[in-house]
Structure 1
Amino acid sequence: MGSREWDSSADAETGCVRRRVARFEDGSIEQTEDWIASEVPIAMSYNGEAHVVMLATPMDLQDFALGFSLSEAIIASSSELETIRIDQRLEGIEIGMQIPQPRAEAIAARQRNLSGRSSCGLCGTQQLEDVLRHPPTLTAAIAITADAMHRALNSLAAAQPLNLRTGATHAAAWSDIDGSLQLVREDVGRHNALDKLVGAMTRQAIDVQRGFLILTSRASYEMVQKSATVGIGLIAAISAPTALAIHLAESCGVTLIGFARDDGHVVYTHPQRIVEQDT
């Protein structure tokens, strides 16, 4: 059998490993060790049928499995995810899930069997309809102040231990309406981090109508699609959105904010949900 393609000694709680490096700085060379973010193939299957392989950080995998299943509309609620089995393989990790048979048949009908990348979870989708899946329009969403959003943003960096160690990961975070961070999940892939957050929020019964989402990445179409699918109505991204993401957010009733940083932010859709100052 072949050698391992990933290091199983990677701590599932830290998501990183130590590697020897040559550090060049100020004209000198130092032989040292550095923390490197783990990135491994994670295969997901439903009812024994392979569905997708994602490259992801091997931590918070229970959250990942549940969040992916919800944000991709494979299941409608956590109660439909009957079992989750996580197995270590030579080449990576396999997550086997059991769902109601009608749901499994719906997956087959969509004919979606994709190989995901850490940068794009839609790569390999076979049908245009699968890419442009339109979530239900959100009819209710909370309003927040700009001050609350920036309070959450200012506390986010310290809540990313994996990125502080490696400098290589994205985060998806959930804040309450007052700007207090409630949950953070990290991954080398921005959409993986979001799926992990969705799974964690669902497992902890956090109300998506009582807070807002923060992304340390750009707001792509898929990020808006996943968020709207699970009922998140307000997204603040540190980087820019794409035109297709703005179009989807507008049509789905999602408030989309980009360039959310210390010195300001840009509201692209449904600005009525942002109040500029605390009252």
Structure 2
Amino acid sequence: MDSQISQSSKIVRFQDGVLQEIVDEIVSEHPLTIHLNGEEFATLVCSPENIMELTIGFLASEGFIRRSDEIKNIQIDESKGFAYVDLYIKSETPSHEFHSKRFIGSCCGKSRQFYFHNDARTAKTSTSKTTLTPQQCISFMEQLQKSSVTFQETGGVHNAALFSADELIVRRTDIGRHNALDKLFGYCIEKHIPVRDKVIAFSGRISSEVLLKAAKIGVGIILSKSAPTNLAIKLANDLNITAVGFIRGNSFNVYSHPERIISKKTS
């Protein structure tokens, strides 16, 4: 697997009435096949960096691990795009039908009819007590965008970052929005970083799948420069997650659990 997240390529650009040949940066796209306990489990299409974190985060979001010490062995073959993982406890790999079959349950009187089975097993209701000021929401999004060099060069990736209430902890990039979040998750598992009091800033739309990824990671606040879907808002209300969208300039919208966004911090 090529380790470069982007590559230079000759293209023809039309600008100001003129066609001209230029060199542009094109984002790289590679397959990663994960073998779990000796069996082929899943193939992801991803950006070729932080592959270890992506593998760990993906397995955690699918409910196979919770901690790094549950992994007996992990090997990454970047040249061929394979990850080989052995777990100490070998559970049966759920079928595709299990992952895609709808699940209807209830919690606190609310029907969770939109979950898939694996989401119902792994998504967490947030217990976060973290609060942010409006200025922090805007600042975190600005930091995410300014640090996203690959996006500025290619326009072809998603970016996600994990913040404490005070500072940026880690930022990850990938062509897949889910992959960027899984890389954050894998980083936290590898580094033993508690996530309940953390915040995710995300470059893309808050879909129901993105909201569920945030719930699986365990954060209580997700920030985005884009809009959420109606289903994402329903899930955010159900899972006690604060979803903040359209963070642009000096304005934003709070779509769920606005009690975590406060006018100012008290000493």
TM-score (structure 2 length as normaliser): 0.86
Q: What residue in structure 2 maps to residue 269 of structure 1?
A: 256
Q: What amino acid sits opposite 2:102 in the alignment?
A: L
| 2:103 is the alignment partner of 1:111 | no
1:173 to 158, 161, 164: 161
Distance in 1 separating the partners of 2:46 and 2:82: 12
Confirm or deny: 8 A CA contact 1:257 1:266 kept in the other structure.
Answer: yes
User: What are the Cα deviations for residues 65-94 of structure 1, in whole angstroms up to 9, with x where unaligned?
Assistant: 1111112212122211222222246xx611
Deviation at 1:125, TM superposition (A): 4.6
Q: What residue in structure 2 maps to residue 28 of structure 1?
A: 18
Q: 1:257 to 1:191 in 2, by over 3 A?
A: same
Q: What residue in structure 1 maps to residue 211 of structure 2?
A: 224
Q: What residue in structure 1 maps to residue 116 of structure 2?
A: 131
User: What are the Cα deviations for residues 139-179 of structure 1, in whole angstroms up to 9, with x where unaligned?
Assistant: 2331111111111111222211211221111101112213x
Q: What residue in structure 1 maps to residue 184 of structure 2?
A: 197
| 2:73 is the alignment partner of 1:83 | yes
Structure 2 residue runs of 5 or longer lacking an equivalent are: 104-114
- Compute the RMSD of aligned alpha carbons: 2.1
Q: What residue in structure 2 maps to residue 206 of structure 1?
A: 193
Distance in 2 separating the partners of 1:260 and 1:31: 36
Distance in 2 separating the partners of 1:40 and 1:88: 10
TM-score (structure 1 length as normaliser): 0.83
SS, match of residue 49 in structure 2: coil
What is the 5 A alignment of 1:5-154? 8=1, 10=2, 12=3, 14-88=4-78, 93-103=81-91, 105=92, 108=93, 110-112=94-96, 125-129=99-103, 131=116, 133-134=119-120, 135-154=123-142
Confirm or deny: 8 A CA contact 1:41 1:55 kept in the other structure.
Answer: yes
Q: 1:81 to 1:141 in 2, by over 3 A?
A: farther
Deviation at 1:276, TM superposition (A): 2.7
SS, match of residue 275 in structure 1: coil
Deviation at 1:128, TM superposition (A): 2.3
Q: What residue in structure 1 maps to residue 108 of structure 2?
A: none
Q: What residue in structure 2 maps to residue 258 of structure 1?
A: 245
Q: What amino acid sits opposite 2:243 in the alignment?
A: L
Confirm or deny: 8 A CA contact 2:197 2:219 kept in the other structure.
Answer: no
Distance in 1 separating the partners of 2:164 and 2:135: 12
Q: What amino acid sits opposite 2:149 in the alignment?
A: P
Q: What amino acid sits opposite 1:272 in the alignment?
A: E
Confirm or deny: 8 A CA contact 1:172 1:213 kept in the other structure.
Answer: yes
Structure 1 residue runs of 5 or longer lacking an equivalent are: 1-7, 114-123
Q: What residue in structure 2 maps to residue 240 of structure 1?
A: 227
Deviation at 1:21, TM superposition (A): 0.8
Distance in 1 separating the partners of 2:190 and 2:100: 31
Distance in 2 separating the partners of 1:214 and 1:149: 9
User: What are the Cα deviations for residues 33-64 of structure 1, in whole angstroms up to 9, with x where unaligned?
Assistant: 21110111111121121221111111110110
**Identical aligned residues as a percent:** 31
SS, match of residue 75 in structure 1: coil
1:188 to 154, 175, 178: 175
Q: What amino acid sits opposite 2:83 in the alignment?
A: I
Distance in 2 separating the partners of 1:246 and 1:176: 23
Distance in 2 separating the partners of 1:42 and 1:153: 29
| 2:151 is the alignment partner of 1:163 | yes
Distance in 1 separating the partners of 2:100 and 2:259: 37
Confirm or deny: 8 A CA contact 2:72 2:86 kept in the other structure.
Answer: yes
SS, match of residue 222 in structure 1: helix
Distance in 1 separating the partners of 2:226 and 2:184: 19
> Number of matched residues?
252
Deviation at 1:278, TM superposition (A): 4.9
Deviation at 1:240, TM superposition (A): 1.2
Deviation at 1:253, TM superposition (A): 1.3
Distance in 1 separating the partners of 2:144 and 2:90: 40
SS, match of residue 269 in structure 1: coil
